[in-house]
C-alpha cells in the first residue's frame, strides 16, 4: 500500500528525474535555486533582505499577509533561537486571529440558550485558549509510549472519541443554559488544533525527547494551514529543516519560486474566470445545480461544461492556497513538499489523489490508513488494502469534514446535521472504491504511443471520475438532499429534467 502513502513524493521525484533527461527548455519561473551566484548572494545580508522583500510583495499579490514573510525570515535567521521564534510567531498570529475560534457561533449558542446577558462572552473566549493549552500539555505529557503505528491509531481514537463525546453532551437534554455555552466554547477552541494534537500525541511516543513547547509551536503554525497540519509535527519538520547557510538559501529560493508560481496560477485563474464565467457567461456549478433543483435546468451541454470547469477552477484554487503556505514554510527554513504537484500529470485516480492535496492525504494515511493496515486482515492482502483504504478515504475523510463543520450541529441539531452528510458520505464511499480499484489494477506500462495516448487519455479518465464524483462532494450543502444530487447525475447522463 505504499502507493497511497508515498506516491506523491515518488511522483515529484520521478517528475524531476524525467525533466533532467529532457532538453533544457525555457521556464516561466527561472531555476534561481540552482544558480550558484544567486545562492551565494542569498546568504548575504543584502541578499536576504531582497529575498524577504520580494517574498512579501509576492504574498501581498496573492492576497496573503506580507508581514508573515518577515516572521519567516526572523525564524530562518534565528540560529539556535529558531524554534523559540517559531513559537512566538505562531502565538502572535494565533492571537491576531483570536485563536481561530468561531466566536459568532458561541454568541448564537448563547442566544439559543437565552443567557447572552448572564455570561461574559469576551472573558470566556479569552480564558478558553489558556484552558485548552493547559489540557494539551497535560495530555501530551501523560500519553503512554507505544509503537508508532499503534500510537497514531490510539491518538486518533482518543481525540475524536472525546471530542464527539463532548458534542453529544452539549446536544443532550441535560446540558442547557450556561453549561451548553461553555462546552461549545471549549469545542470551538479545541477544534482548530484537533489533528495537530493527534500528531503531537503520536510524536510523544516516537520522539519523546522533543520538548512539549516545541511540539505546540507548530499547532496551527504561523506560515498557515487549516485543520489540516501543513508540516504535520515537529519531528517531521526537522527532517526538512535547513542545517547550513547554503541549504537555507536554496530552501528560501525554492520558497520564492513557489510564491512566484502562485502568481502565475492566480493570473491563470483570473483569466479563466473572466473568460468562462464572465465573457462566455457559463454559470458556476453551484448555480447550475441550483437551477436544476428549482426546475429551471440548464441544457445538458452547459451542465457538463459547468461541472468540468468547476473541476479545473477548484484545482487552481487549492494550488494557490496550499502553495502560499508551503512557500512561507520554505522561507522559514523548512523545505516542505508542495501541497499540489502537477495534478494534470496524473494518469490514475490514486496518483491524482496524491498530487491534489498532499497534506490532507497524508493526514488520512497517518491517522486512518496505517493504523488499520497494520492491525486488520494481515493474511488477506486485498481485503487488508481495501479496508485500510476505506477507513482512510471514506470513513476518515467523512469524519474530518463532519468535525470541521460541527457548527451545523449547534445550528440545526445533531440529527439534521447527520442527515445533511448523506451526499458527502456517498462521495467518500465512491472515492474509496475508486482509489482501491486504482491500486489493485495499476496502469500497465506500455511502449510510448505519443502524448495523446500516454498523457491526455489517462488524465481524461481521471478528469471524468472526479468530475462525476464532484456531483456528490457537498460537505457544507444542507439545502439539497442526496436524491437531488443523484437526480442531477442522472440528468448529466441523459435522464429527465
C-alpha cell at 365: 494515511
The 10s digit of each residue's pLDDT in 81-121 is 999 999 999 999 999 999 999 999 999 999 999 998 888 99
pTM summary value: 0.89
pLDDT at 256: 97
Beta-bridge mates of residue 132: none
C-alpha cell at 416: 439534521
The 10s digit of each residue's pLDDT in 376-415 is 898 899 999 999 999 999 999 999 999 999 999 998 888 8
Q: How far is CA 185 from the centre of its chain?
A: 24
**φ/ψ of residue 241, rounded to 5:** -75, 135
pLDDT by residue for the chain (497 residues), tens only, comes to 444 444 444 444 444 444 444 445 668 899 999 999 999 999 999 999 999 999 999 999 999 999 999 999 999 999 999 999 999 999 999 999 999 999 999 999 999 999 988 889 999 999 999 999 999 999 888 876 555 545 566 777 888 889 999 999 999 999 999 999 999 999 999 999 999 999 998 888 778 888 999 999 999 999 998 999 999 999 999 999 999 999 999 999 999 999 999 999 999 999 999 999 999 999 999 999 999 999 899 999 999 999 999 999 999 999 999 999 999 999 999 999 999 999 999 999 999 999 999 999 999 999 999 999 988 898 899 999 999 999 999 999 999 999 999 999 998 888 888 888 899 999 999 999 999 999 988 766 667 777 777 788 889 999 999 999 999 988 777 788 899 999 999 999 987 66
CA 264, CA 96: separation in Å to the nearest integer? 29
**Contact (CB, 8 A) for 263 and 271:** no
pLDDT at 314: 95
pLDDT at 6: 43
- The distance in angstroms from the start CA to the end CA of the chain is 42
pLDDT at 152: 60
Q: Cell 492482502 maps to which residue?
A: 381
Give the CB-side neighbour count of residue 302, counting CA atoms within 13 A: 17
pLDDT at 25: 60
CA 463, CA 343: separation in Å to the nearest integer? 10
CA 424, CA 387: separation in Å to the nearest integer? 19
pLDDT at 206: 78
pLDDT at 24: 55
CA 318, CA 12: separation in Å to the nearest integer? 18
User: How many beta carbons lie within 10 A of that of residue 114, not counting itself?
Assistant: 10
Closest C-alpha to 59, from 355, 329, 338, 340: 329
CA 253, CA 32: separation in Å to the nearest integer? 7
CA 330, CA 242: separation in Å to the nearest integer? 9
* Helix, strand, coil percentages for the chain (3-state, nearest 5): 75, 0, 25
User: How many beta carbons lie within 10 A of that of residue 382, not counting itself?
Assistant: 11
CA 298, CA 296: separation in Å to the nearest integer? 7
Amino acid at each position: 500500500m505504499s502507493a497511497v502513502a508515498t506516491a506523491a513524493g515518488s511522483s515529484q521525484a520521478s517528475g524531476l528525474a524525467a525533466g533532467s533527461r529532457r532538453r533544457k527548455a525555457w521556464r516561466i519561473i527561472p531555476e534561481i535555486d540552482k544558480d550558484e551566484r544567486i545562492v551565494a548572494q542569498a546568504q548575504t545580508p543584502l541578499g536576504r533582505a531582497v529575498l524577504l522583500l520580494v517574498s512579501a510583495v509576492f504574498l501581498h499579490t496573492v492576497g496573503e499577509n506580507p508581514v508573515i514573510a518577515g516572521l519567516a525570515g526572523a525564524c530562518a535567521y534565528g540560529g539556535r533561537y529558531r524554534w523559540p521564534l517559531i513559537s512566538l510567531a505562531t502565538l502572535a498570529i494565533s492571537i491576531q486571529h483570536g485563536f481561530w475560534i468561531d466566536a459568532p457561533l458561541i454568541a448564537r449558542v448563547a442566544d439559543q440558550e437565552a443567557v447572552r446577558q448572564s455570561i461574559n462572552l469576551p472573558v470566556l473566549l479569552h480564558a478558553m485558549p489558556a484552558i485548552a493549552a493547559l489540557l494539551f500539555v497535560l495530555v501530551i505529557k501523560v500519553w503512554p509510549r507505544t509503537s508508532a503505528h499503534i500510537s497514531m491509531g490510539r491518538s486518533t481514537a482518543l481525540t475524536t472519541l472525546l471530542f464527539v463525546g463532548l458534542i453529544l453532551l452539549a446536544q443532550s437534554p441535560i446540558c442547557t443554559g450556561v453549561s451548553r455555552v461553555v462546552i461549545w466554547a471549549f469545542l470551538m477552541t479545541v477544534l482548530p488544533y484537533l489533528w495537530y494534537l493527534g500528531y503531537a500525541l503520536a510524536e510523544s511516543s516516537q520522539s519523546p525527547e522533543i520538548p512539549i513547547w516545541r511540539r505546540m509551536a507548530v499547532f496551527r503554525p504561523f506560515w498557515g494551514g487549516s485543520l489540516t497540519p501543513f508540516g504535520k509535527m515537529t519531528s517531521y519538520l526537522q527532517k526538512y529543516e535547513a542545517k547550513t547557510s547554503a541549504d537555507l538559501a536554496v530552501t528560501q529560493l525554492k520558497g520564492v519560486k513557489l510564491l512566484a508560481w502562485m502568481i502565475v496560477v492566480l493570473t491563470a485563474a483570473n483569466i479563466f474566470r473572466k473568460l468562462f464565467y464572465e465573457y462566455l457567461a457559463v454559470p458556476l456549478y453551484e448555480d447550475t445545480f441550483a437551477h436544476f433543483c428549482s426546475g429551471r435546468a440548464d441544457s445538458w451541454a452547459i451542465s457538463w461544461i459547468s461541472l468540468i470547469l468547476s473541476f479545473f477552477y477548484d484545482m487552481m484554487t487549492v494550488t494557490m492556497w496550499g502553495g502560499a503556505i508551503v512557500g512561507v514554510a520554505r522561507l522559514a527554513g523548512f523545505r516542505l513538499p508542495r501541497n499540489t504537484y502537477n495534478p494534470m500529470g496524473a494518469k490514475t485516480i490514486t496518483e491524482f489523489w496524491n498530487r491534489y492535496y498532499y497534506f490532507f492525504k497524508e493526514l488520512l494515511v497517518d491517522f486512518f490508513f496505517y493504523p488499520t493496515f497494520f492491525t486488520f486482515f494481515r493474511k488477506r492482502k486485498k481485503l487488508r488494502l481495501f479496508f485500510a483504504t476505506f477507513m482512510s478515504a471514506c470513513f476518515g475523510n467523512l469524519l474530518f469534514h463532519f468535525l470541521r463543520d460541527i457548527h451545523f450541529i449547534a445550528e440545526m441539531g445533531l440529527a439534521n446535521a447527520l442527515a445533511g452528510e448523506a451526499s458527502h458520505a456517498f462521495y467518500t464511499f465512491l472515492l474509496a472504491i475508486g482509489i482501491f480499484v486504482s491500486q489493485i489494477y495499476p496502469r500497465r506500462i506500455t511502449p510510448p504511443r505519443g502524448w495523446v495516448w500516454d498523457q491526455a487519455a489517462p488524465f481524461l479518465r481521471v478528469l471524468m471520475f472526479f468530475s462525476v464524483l464532484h456531483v456528490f462532494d457537498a460537505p457544507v450543502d444542507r439545502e439539497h438532499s442526496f436524491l437531488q444530487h443523484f437526480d442531477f447525475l442522472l440528468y448529466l447522463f441523459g435522464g429527465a429534467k
